[in-house]
Amino acid sequence: MMSSLLSFGWLQQLLVVLLKLTLSFAGPTNGTECTARGPASYILVFTGHWSPQTFPKQYPLFRPPAQWSKLMAITHNKQHRLFQEGTLASIGVQNFAEVGVTVDLVKGAKDARKRRAVGAMYRTAGIATGIGHSSTELLLQPWSPLLSLMVKVIPSPDWFVGVDSLNLCEGGKWKQEVTLDLQPFDAGTDSGFTFSSPNYPTVPQENITRITSQMPNHPANSFYYPRLTELPPIASIRLTRQRLYFCAINLLHSLTLSLSIHLSETPLDCEVSLWSSWGLCLGPCSSGGIRHRTRYILLWPANAGAPCPEMEEQTECTPHNCLKPQ
């Protein structure tokens, strides 16, 4: 009898240990785990709604005009955040929000991927106007069901629109369609009030905050509309799940094109600014004077995207372009 009790007690302790190990591998449950049996494919469409009709105050018309940067998106789990409202921006978020540089964001995502905190990273080309679309295909795994993304507002001191940790899997099922209106964020690293403000670092750095019609509460702010209770959407995203049949067809097509699959290597075409104004004529018009104008690169090409055109242009001067001698 005693030996039976001892055996039962040993077995009970073993079960407790196994249960603890199982829970430790599963991690704490806070509602973000996905119990779906397989991955899900989505089409992500980003739409800019930034127009002089919806945002007439200080609307940028040139050097550069209103436009959107490339979209940076990652799939991940709760162990990683691309950005978070109410916390300090990382160096990657700061560089992207201020000047559109993605090097540190990419490095952070790659480091997190080694820890199995990030599933994949995606990006789309920029949009050369305030109103427009960009899109890409996403593949989410059950262990990384969250989506975060950022798009820089150009021009701006450190403003961006984004989504933080959108869970596309709830109750063990992938969502079929999600549409979100986006509002601007301030990265808290530059104190400029207007779209075209010069660089003015915020010292000490402040938390990431949502920009509203009345915050920052200053008449000079480009988004300050005190008569509005809330800003109209400056952008939006739409996620539509694809059927598994089409996912399989796309995967088979990718395999026939390449021995290795690079889901995030979307071709990026070169994006350039508008031409500057023509400069003054160099040399007298009678002897073939010339004048120049320039533009600059907004987005470098990648993944076999279209190359950049010429950045400088010149033309012969005509008499009405020449400066008359005093």
Residue 282's pLDDT band (boundaries 50, 70, 90)?
A: low
Does 57 have pLDDT greater than 50? yes
- 23: Cβ contacts below 8 Å, ≥ 6 apart: none
Task: Please work out, in degrees rounded to the nearest 5, the angle formed at the alpha carbon of residue 125 by the alpha carbons of 119 and 131.
Answer: 120
Mean pLDDT, residues 111-120 = 95
The 3-state secondary structure of the chain, one letter per residue: CHHHHHHHHHHHHHHHHHHHHHHHHHCCCCCCCCCCCCCEEEEEEEEEECCCCCCCCCCCCCCCCCEEEEEEEEEECCCCCCCCCCCECCHHHHHHHHHCCCHHHHHHHHHHHHCCCEEEEEEECCECCCEEEEEEEEEEECCECEEEEEEEEECCCCEEEEEEEEECEECCEECCEEEEEECEEECCCECCCCCCCCCCECCCCCECEECCCCCCCCCCCCCCCCCCCCCCCCEEEEEEECCHHHHHHHHHHHHHHCCCCCCCCCCECCEECCCCCCCCCECCHHHCCEEEEECCEEECCECCCCCCCCCEEEEECCHHHCCCCC
Nearest to residue 231, comparing CAs of 221, 241, 243?
A: 221
Kindly list the distances between the CA atom of residue 94 and the CA atoms of 67, 90, 150, 216, in Å, as whole numbers in the listed order.
19, 6, 12, 19
The pLDDT assigned to 267 comes to 72
Higher-confidence position of 11 and 119: 119
In this predicted structure, what is the pLDDT of residue 178? 97
Question: Residue 257 has what pLDDT?
Answer: 44
Q: For residues 326 and 257, what is the distance between their CA atoms, to the nearest angstrom?
A: 67
CB 239 within 8 A of CB 71: no
Contact 144, 96 (CB under 8 A): no
Average pLDDT over residues 43-71: 94
In the chain, the domains with their CATH numbers are 40-241 (2.60.40.2130), 271-317 (2.20.100)
Q: Is 70 left (phi over 0), alpha (psi -120 to 50) or beta?
A: beta
Residue 279 has pLDDT above 60, yes or no: yes
pLDDT band of residue 284 (cuts 50, 70, 90) is low
**Cβ neighbours of residue 179 closer than 8 Å, sequence gap 6 or more:** 236, 237, 238, 239
Among 192, 186, 198, 233, smallest CA distance to 51 is for: 233
Please report the pLDDT score of residue 311 as a whole number: 81
pLDDT in tens, 117-162: 999 999 998 999 999 999 999 999 999 999 999 999 999 999 999 9
92 backbone φψ class: left, alpha, beta (φ>0; ψ -120 to 50): alpha
Please classify residue 68 by burial: count the beta carbons closer than 10 Å to its beta carbon, then call 0-12 exposed, 13-18 middle and 19+ buried: buried
Q: How confident is the model at residue 13 (pLDDT cuts 50, 70, 90)?
A: low
pLDDT digits (tens, 9 = 90+) for 163-183: 999 999 988 899 999 999 999
Distance (Å, whole) CA 68 – CA 162:
12
